[in-house]
């Protein structure tokens, strides 16, 4: 009985390595016999001796150079490391700088100024809390393209996706090209489906600056964004059209992050999909995403359950 218990003990705490168990058992017996348990304490494995190849002076010069580099150029570890190898900062440092990036990085991490930079970054991140809206019906809209070289489709398709910023409820529609007419058609479907399925009335749609949304030039004549067909359609439906700042995809961050899920979704798909089968597969995913998948940002609720919890609060 004792033997079986000992085997289970070794298997659980020593990863089934009997030699490790007997090594520590012997150390415990010796420590008990000599009444000296200091040898049983865990010791640091960091070597006490400094690598003989590099002197303390060289370490200090390179660390000083890095932090000066940060202040003047906002440069990083890689840029300085390769500039040293190229001899940009002098032949002497080129020959005395570490040849290994890990060694170079380890020097910097041991400098107290490194910790100061990291703490400052943490403070800045804390000053910018997660952006959340307070209303339902504020949607982000964007197009995701599917090409045969990256997805199992028979030709190139585009999916206009919509996601509600508050609840994360999402829907999308497949088209064979990007155009203002298709964008308007997708909005029509979204208005109907968000109302019929989720009882959500869309009050605002935010898009990027794609040509189908804000074509500012027509026949070489500059026109107002408000006069485009897409924006005019939204205005007629009492929906506000917002656009993101140029080259700022993070302004539509939720829909951009949602599109990353598609890469995982089609990894094991072997069948080549046409427009209909692609829409069906996406519909299955939208159902899972809205009704079954829990979200950490929603306190581990599904988007639909989160929507219902908001209704109960009201």
CATH code at 190? 3.30.420.10
45 belongs to a structural domain = no
Q: What is the pLDDT of residue 82?
A: 77
Higher pLDDT, 214 or 259: 259
What mean pLDDT comes out for the span 169-186? 95
User: What does the alpha-carbon distance between residue 68 and residue 292 come to, in Å, rounded to a whole number?
Assistant: 51
Cα–Cα distances in angstroms (integers) from residue 291 to residues 197, 288, 295, in the given order:
11, 5, 11
Q: What angle do CA 27, 30, 33 make, to 5 degrees?
A: 150
Q: Which domain holds residue 283?
A: 138-313
49 lies in a domain? no
Examine the fold and report which residue of 126, 151, 186 is the final residue of a domain before the chain moves on. Answer: 126
For the chain, what is the domain count?
A: 3
**Percent above pLDDT 70 for the chain:** 79
Residues 87-101 have pLDDT tens digits of 777 777 777 777 778
Domain-embedded: residue 145: yes
Residue 132 maps to a domain: no
225 lies in the same domain as 247: yes
Is 161 within 8 Å of 144 (Cβ atoms)?
yes
Which of 94-108, 176-190, 211-225 has the largest mean confidence?
176-190
Q: How confident is the model at residue 257 (pLDDT cuts 50, 70, 90)?
A: confident
pLDDT score recorded for residue 69: 64
- Say which DSSP state 130 is in: P
Q: Are residues 72 and 170 in the same domain?
A: no
Same domain, 215 and 100: no
Residue 10 is predicted with a pLDDT of 64
Asked whether 244 and 142 are in contact (CB, 8 A), the reply is: no
User: What pTM value is reported for the model?
Assistant: 0.59
Q: Does the structure show a pLDDT above 70 at 47?
A: no
The least confident of 77-86, 124-133, 286-295 is: 124-133
275 with 223, same domain: the answer is yes
Asked, for residue 174, whether it belongs to a domain, the answer is: yes
Helix (H) or strand (E) holding 11: helix 2-13
Question: What per-residue confidence (pLDDT) applies to 156?
Answer: 95
Has residue 253 got a pLDDT over 90?
A: no
More confident residue, 303 or 9: 303
- Which tokens go with 296? 């950490």
Backbone φ, ψ for residue 224 (5° rounding): -75, 145
Bridge partners (DSSP) of residue 173 are 160
Q: Does 91 or 236 have the greater pLDDT score?
A: 236
Instruction: Specify if 28 maps to a domain.
Output: yes
Q: Which of 27-36, 178-187, 298-307 has the lowest mean pLDDT?
A: 27-36
Q: Which of 123-127, 131-135, 153-157, 225-229 has the lowest mean pLDDT?
A: 123-127
**Nearest partner of 148 among 256, 259, 282, 269, judged by Cα:** 269
DSSP letter, residue 178: -
Assign 221 a pLDDT band (cuts: 50, 70, 90): very low
Q: In terms of domains, do 9 and 33 share one?
A: yes
Together in a domain, 23 and 98: no
Say how many CA atoms lie within 13 Å of 268 toward its Cβ. Answer: 0
Phi and psi, residue 145, nearest 5°: -100, 145
Q: Which residues contact 291 (CB under 8 A, 6 or more apart)?
A: 302, 303, 304
Structure-token pair, residue 12: 């659980």
Q: What's residue 225's pLDDT?
A: 46
């Amino acid at each position: 009985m004792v033997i079986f218990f000992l085997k289970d003990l070794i298997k659980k705490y020593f990863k089934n390595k009997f030699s490790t168990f007997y090594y520590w058992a012997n150390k415990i017996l010796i420590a008990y016999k000599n009444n000296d348990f200091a040898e049983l304490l865990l010791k640091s494995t960091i070597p006490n001796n400094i690598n003989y190849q590099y002197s303390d002076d060289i370490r200090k010069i390179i660390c000083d150079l890095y932090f000066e580099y940060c202040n003047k150029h906002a440069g990083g570890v890689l840029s300085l490391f390769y500039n040293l190898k190229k001899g940009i900062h002098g032949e002497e440092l080129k020959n005395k700088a570490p040849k290994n990036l890990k060694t170079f990085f380890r020097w910097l991490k041991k400098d107290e100024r490194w910790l100061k930079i990291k703490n400052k970054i943490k403070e800045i991140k804390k000053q910018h809390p997660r952006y959340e809206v307070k209303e339902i019906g504020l949607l982000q809209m964007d197009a995701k393209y599917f090409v045969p070289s990256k997805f199992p489709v028979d030709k190139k398709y585009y999916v206009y996706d919509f996601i509600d910023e508050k609840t994360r409820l999402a829907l999308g529609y497949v088209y064979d090209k990007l155009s203002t007419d298709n964008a308007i058609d997708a909005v029509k479907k979204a208005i109907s489906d968000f109302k019929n399925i989720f009882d959500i009335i869309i009050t605002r749609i935010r898009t990027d600056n794609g040509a189908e949304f804000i074509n500012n030039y027509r026949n070489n004549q500059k026109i107002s964004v408000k006069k485009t067909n897409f924006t005019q359609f939204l205005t007629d439906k009492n929906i506000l059209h917002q656009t993101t700042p140029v080259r700022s995809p993070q302004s539509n961050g939720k829909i951009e992050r949602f599109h990353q899920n598609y890469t995982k979704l089609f990894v094991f798909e072997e069948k080549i999909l046409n427009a209909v089968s692609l829409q069906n597969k996406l519909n299955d995913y939208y159902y899972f995403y809205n009704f079954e998948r829990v979200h950490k940002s929603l306190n581990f609720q599904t988007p639909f359950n989160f929507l219902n919890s908001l209704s109960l609060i009201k």
